[in-house]
Amino acid sequence: MLKRLLFCLTVVLLALSSFTTNGQAMEETSGEQVVRLAKDYIGVPYKFGGTTPSGFDCSGYIGYVFNKVDVKLPRTAADQAKAGTAVSKADLKAGDIVYFKDTYKSGVSHAGIYIGSNQFISATSSKGVKIDSINDPYYWGSRYAGARRVLEEVKVAKLAPGEYYDVSKTYWAVTPITSLSKQGIINGYDGGLFLPERTIKRSEAAKMLSETFNLTYSGSSSSSYSDVSSSHWAYKYIMAATEKNYFGGYEGNKFKPDEPISRAEIAALFVRVFKLQNNGQTPSFSDLDAEHWAYNAIQKLSANNITGGYTDQTFRPSSQTSRAEFSTFLYRALQ
């Protein structure tokens, strides 16, 4: 059931100098905010019944994006086509939901988010999340069936320090993200985004740990990496963390700065950095046996209440670590 047919969304004015590198202020409507969030998932593959960035169907994608701005929508495209208020094609605004009929079945069967200039973004069965024209003469144009508006602009406000457009007050990791941002340990991207579900890279982890412990690179280390030049944005962070033996390289003297970090690797990293002990506890995870290379590190991470795993009693050691997860682990380790 639709939680809110029409959601009055407070739009914010962000002083980007608090969060990003360009120092410019940006003003946007709630519809533009939705469009910006939606575009972050361009290229995500299509998955029938999919509702997460690992794979979306059309309505799952729309619901996921709008949920980021606290607008709850029905699950199916047909039901989403009944939400909010009807909008004529001539009056479309960014953030409106456009829907189409007779695609893979009769009636309303596809929906997307209008982004302006007669274009919309949606999760297509052929190429995943992509942008198309609502007037496409070869397919979408003849199938256009209408639009609905579920956003209403109210006023312009200002984001407080540590806040991001895509981290709502009800987001599960809002406290760690906000706290670490205020301390200058983590920051976001242009446009006031944190991108909490984006995987964290080794270079980003090195920066966060360097900021946490005020590490500086002495310049005297004999260690160097063939894939990290002195002009790399994270060079000093990577070298400072390497000097402290937080990180080691890979075969071929590589650091792999853009490589995502797995949850098992995070466990091993945090044990080294925070010198974690087991404290006599032996937590158990159904997908982890004593032969796993990071078994002891994961046990210590859990024993120190930095992670409790998932509700199904798994740890998922090979899964990549998101920015939200890393922020949460780091926040708990610092307590």
Q: Name the residue ranges covered by the structural domains of the chain.
A: 28-155, 173-334
Query: Nearest CA to 111 among 137, 88, 132?
Result: 132
pLDDT of residue 5 exceeding 70? no
pLDDT of residue 9: 31
Q: Are the beta carbons of 135 and 141 closer than 8 angstroms?
A: yes
245-272 pLDDT, tens digit each: 998 888 888 999 999 999 999 999 999 9
pLDDT of residue 16 exceeding 60? no
Environment class of 3 (CB within 10 Å of its CB; exposed 0-12, middle 13-18, buried 19+): exposed
Query: 28-155 is classed in which CATH architecture?
Result: Alpha-Beta Complex (3.90)
Q: Are the beta carbons of 201 and 260 closer than 8 angstroms?
A: yes
87-140 pLDDT, tens digit each: 999 999 999 999 999 999 999 999 999 999 999 999 999 999 999 999 999 999
Lowest mean pLDDT among 5-14, 71-80, 173-182, 233-242: 5-14
Phi and psi angles of residue 15, each rounded to the nearest 5 degrees, phi first: -85, 100
With vertex at residue 51, the alpha carbon angle to CA 91 and CA 330, rounded to the nearest 5 degrees, is 110
pLDDT of residue 153: 63
Q: Are the beta carbons of 273 and 253 closer than 8 angstroms?
A: no
